[in-house]
Amino acid sequence: MPHLRNFLRDLALAPLLMLAAAGFACGQEGGAAAPSGLSFHTIKFFGHGRGGAPGTPSGAGEGTAGVKYSRDFQKSSASHIASQVVFKNDRYEDNEHDYEVLFALYTFEGQLISANKKKILVASDWKYTWTTQTYGWPESGKWDVGTYRVKVWLEGKKVGEAAFFVHDDKAKIEAGIDELQIESLGFYEGGDFFRPGITKRPATRFARAGARRIYWVLRGRNRLHKVRPQRPNVSGYFYRPDGTLFACAPNRGAVSPEVAEVTLFEGVGWSTPGNWEPGRFRFELEQDNRVIAERYFEIADPTRKPRTRPKVVHFGLLDAGVYADSDVALEGDAPANARRDYSATFVAKETGRLWAEVVVVNNPNYTTPHSHKVVWEWFAPDGSPLARSEGDFEILPIWKTASHRHFFGEDPKTTSWAEGFYKIHVTIDGRLEKVLRFALTSATADPQTP
């Protein structure tokens, strides 16, 4: 890019040193908070001619009246392209204050083109303020085709970034079309030299003892196939189980026009296994500074067997007569698909005690008896609580399925149920598993399903 490299000859040394001190690493940029008093709002782009960019902001709004903003510019007509960073004044109607803003412009190859510092003065009655930095030439047609990124620092702390695009006028594509259409996203474990070949399969659970680097792999369709080269701006962010940022893994791989199907990937971790923190990690994929996908994966510690929850497969309500012969249901060798003749509607004047039952599948990983805390909460038609009880649900390893139940009401009947729709919350080990709903009606009513 010979034209843009000429910018470097005009740069002062001080802005470059300041930019280097601020830190270019992906993880460093995202870790600092903005200074108190001014909040980053957005970055906008617009083109202008010899007249220059708009001057001092009035603070009346989030942008400049009469300016046509865009992220897309045509090579033949683009001359000056201005980046306008907008801040919100958190000290509105307080005191006048000033700040130092640093702009940095990069090529799609990640090369620094320009770094410029500016002082902005924020009046006390401004709700928003903005400042602009212009790049380019008086003549049009000198921009190279590609993606450009502008990053902004406020008082030495990175606060935001955005991208704009210079397109080839001869490319016959739809305006605003995405350069990369994403079709799949998966995780792979690998070493320092990794190729997502056909023999590898994606996974969402990795053993800590064998996990080295975890790679995100994106596959998609090149929307600029046989049109022009591109360098998609894609980054992956890994978050620890406690929610803090673990690492940023960007990929700026070049995609040639001859490639129809694109594969991008990048990984974080270690060359040797056993260093990952056990737990559930969150992953965000960004394209052009926008989160476009969120996924999770787990690092499992083989030395700590995770507690497995019983899976509820059947549930329902029955009247008291079901348990006339036995109060043990579906334990031992009863088939996993067995279920009772549950009902969701009962006649109010004929109903005494009602049983609520859940049937669970015993997890095959258990080799010893295990218990789970079960809480039953019954609610009247008006939402008021009727009853609450809790107890341990004991399950033996030899059982394929097991049931647990709770009753409410009196048998023999002494008090009639009120007509209406009721519900029961069934909580197992602190998590709401099922909401059972049923109706008490008159003998002739034809109720809707509750």
What confidence category does residue 326 fall into, taking pLDDT thresholds of 50, 70 and 90?
Answer: very low
Evaluate if residue 268 carries a pLDDT over 70: yes
What's the pTM?
0.38
Tracing tokens 């060359």 back to the chain, one arrives at 271
CA distances from residue 125 to 63, 65, 194 in whole angstroms, order as listed: 16, 19, 55
Of 146-160, 168-182, 218-232, 343-357, the range with the highest mean pLDDT is 146-160
Q: Which residue has the tokens 């079709």?
A: 183
Confidence of residue 414 (pLDDT cuts 50, 70, 90): low
Token readout for 121 is: 């003065």
144-159 as b/e, with b when 16 or more CB fall inside 10 Å?
ebbbbbbbbbbeebbb
Task: List b or e across 207-235, with b for residues whose CB sees 16 or more CB atoms inside 10 angstroms.
Answer: bbeebbbbbbbbebebebeebbebbbbbb
Q: How confident is the model at residue 283 (pLDDT cuts 50, 70, 90)?
A: very high
Q: Measured between alpha carbons, how far is 294 from 284 in angstroms, rounded to an integer? A: 5
Per-residue pLDDT, averaged over 138-145, amounts to 83
| Residue from 306, 326, 309, 310 nearest 402 by CA | 310
Q: Give CA–CA dist 362/364, Å, rounded.
A: 6
- How far separated are the first and last CA of the chain, in Å rounded? 68
Q: How does pLDDT run across 39-98, given as a tens digit for each residue?
A: 888 899 998 765 555 555 555 556 676 788 888 888 888 899 999 998 888 877 777 778
Percent of the chain with pLDDT over 90: 12
Task: Please check the confidence at residue 371 and state whether its pLDDT lies above 60.
Answer: yes
Mean pLDDT confidence for 365-388: 84
Q: Mean pLDDT of all residues in the chain?
A: 75
Determine contact, residues 441/322, Cβ cutoff 8 Å: no
| Whether residue 28 has pLDDT greater than 60 | no
Selection from 416, 415, 414, 434 nearest residue 425 by Cα? 434
DSSP string, 127-190: SEEEEEEEEE-SSSS-SPSEEEEEEEEETTEEEEEEEEEEE-TT----TT--SEEEEEEEEEEE
Tell me, rounded to whole angstroms, the distance of Cα 291 from its chain centroid: 7
Is 251 or 54 the better-scoring residue by pLDDT? 251
Which is higher by pLDDT, 264 or 404? 264
Question: Residue 293 pLDDT more than 90?
Answer: no
pLDDT for 246 beyond 80: yes
Q: What is the reported pLDDT for 169? A: 62
All structural domains of the chain: 2-167 (2.60.40.2550), 180-300 (2.60.40.1930), 311-441 (2.60.40.10)
